[in-house]
Amino acid sequence: MPASLFSFGATFSMSAPASTVSPAQASRPWLRLMLMLLAVSAAISLFTCRQCFDTPRELLINFLLTALYTVGLWLTNGYSVDWLNKYVGWKQAPGKRLVLTLVVSLVGSLAVIVLVRLGYILYRGQDPRRLFSAAYIDGYIFPLVITVICSLFMHSRSFLLGWREAVVRNERLQKEMAQAEAESLRQQLDPHFMFNALNALTSLVEEEPKLAVRFIRQLSQVYRYVLDARQREVVPLADELEFAQSYLFLQNIRYGEALRVELPESSAVPANGVVPPLSLQLLLENALKHNAASISQPLHLRIAIDSAGKCLTVSNTLRPRRLGPGESLGIGLPNLTARYAHLTAEPVRVERTEAEFIVTLPVLSIC
């Protein structure tokens, strides 16, 4: 077989897996894909070995070898993309990924070329040592150079597409965070909240002045935290729990014995744990808004951290009540879930039983 055919087969085959869709993730059925690759191999054979038209047997051998090159190189380079994506991403380590891409692509492509050529030599009954003769070694250079060029081009395209996707995701995250901030501010600065707080404060000023002073301080801390934290992507878990204590203090004044709260011990809070800001406020507000509470049937709120410090759980007794028009927009929990999706692969778990509503948030870590 002419050396030019080996070179051309390897060249064309390397451009076949050029799309950013890797074999393991290809949307096309395998049968359709294989038929397409075989059709490409047939076209290459017809254009690169016209002298084989007089000998159908040689034409068939030419086609089979070209098909082996095409399919082998496509699978090798395609699966290498999948494998590299699992361990080294373009965004995390672009330099390392570039070097590994070249090494894996060259080694894999060289292995395919050597194996196909070895099979051809053995089929011809020739000495396998010819595989490493000067004539054969020269034939490796051109296809490998083309492999590098095509690999760099296609992986660069993959990198640019991934970068564009990251930009779109970042813009979507900023929009979702802005919606979450607006919803949090709307809830905290809601006239009903202010009305209830001022009513409670009026009663405290007349009956318990010292408690009224504490109430004012806690109220100011709540608003200060909301204004400060809304501009940040994550906040320390300890700060979020301290804010929750201030917020629940105000709600305890309003609900009295109708609200029972259980908070985690300070020793259970991981020092480097962080969460999205106002996460607890959103869950606590939802629990108070969507459930009825009375002295005879108090609403139980529980905030807990698991022993490993990896999960934060907020649970409340389930006693649904009807909400008035405009009292809930229904975007708080979906926004929180979306914000977490951009920060970690760990999901926000929502569980509803007959007696409780439970939300578990992953606790992120600052390295």
Among candidate residues 167, 161, 179, the one with its CA nearest the CA of residue 338 = 179
> Using one digit for the tens of pLDDT, what is the confidence trace for 112-129?
778 877 887 787 777 777
Last residue of a domain, one of 109, 139, 169: 169
Q: Are 252 and 142 found together in one domain?
A: no
Q: 186 falls in which pLDDT band (50, 70, 90)?
A: very low
Parent domain of 216: 189-365
Q: Are 158 and 195 found together in one domain?
A: no
Could you give the residue ranges of the DSSP H alpha helices within the chain?
Answer: 3-15, 30-48, 56-87, 94-123, 134-188, 191-207, 209-229, 237-255, 279-290, 332-343
> Using one digit for the tens of pLDDT, what is the confidence trace for 325-367?
555 656 678 878 888 887 888 999 999 999 999 999 999 987 6
DSSP assignment string, 170-231: HHHHHHHHHHHHHHHHHHHT-HHHHHHHHHHHHHHHHH-HHHHHHHHHHHHHHHHHHHHHTT
pLDDT value at residue 154 = 65
Q: Are 76 and 223 found together in one domain?
A: no
pLDDT value at residue 358 = 95
Q: Are 202 and 134 found together in one domain?
A: no
Q: Are 11 and 130 found together in one domain?
A: yes
Q: Could you count the other beta carbons within 10 Å of the beta carbon of residue 97?
A: 19
Chain mean pLDDT for the chain: 76
- In the chain, % of residues over pLDDT 70: 70
Q: Do the domain assignments include residue 159?
A: yes
Q: 72 falls in which pLDDT band (50, 70, 90)?
A: confident
- What is d(CA 62, CA 40) in angstroms, rounded to the nearest whole number? 13
Question: Is 324 in a helix, a strand, or coil?
Answer: coil
Q: Are 149 and 200 found together in one domain?
A: no
Q: Do residues 364 and 274 touch, judged by C-beta distance below 8 A?
A: yes
Residue 331 belongs to a domain with what CATH number? 3.30.565
Q: Are 63 and 103 found together in one domain?
A: yes
pLDDT value at residue 13 = 39
Q: Are 198 and 71 found together in one domain?
A: no
Q: Are 52 and 116 found together in one domain?
A: yes
Task: Specify the amino acid at residue 289.
Answer: K
Last residue of a domain, one of 110, 134, 169: 169
> Using one digit for the tens of pLDDT, what is the confidence trace for 204-221?
777 788 888 888 888 888
Q: Are 164 and 208 found together in one domain?
A: no
> Using one digit for the tens of pLDDT, what is the confidence trace for 218-256?
888 888 887 787 678 889 999 999 999 988 988 888 888
pLDDT at 285 over 70: yes
pLDDT value at residue 336 = 84
In the predicted model, what is the mean pLDDT of residues 294-314? 92
Q: Are 242 and 360 found together in one domain?
A: yes
Q: Are 149 and 201 found together in one domain?
A: no
Q: 20 falls in which pLDDT band (50, 70, 90)?
A: very low
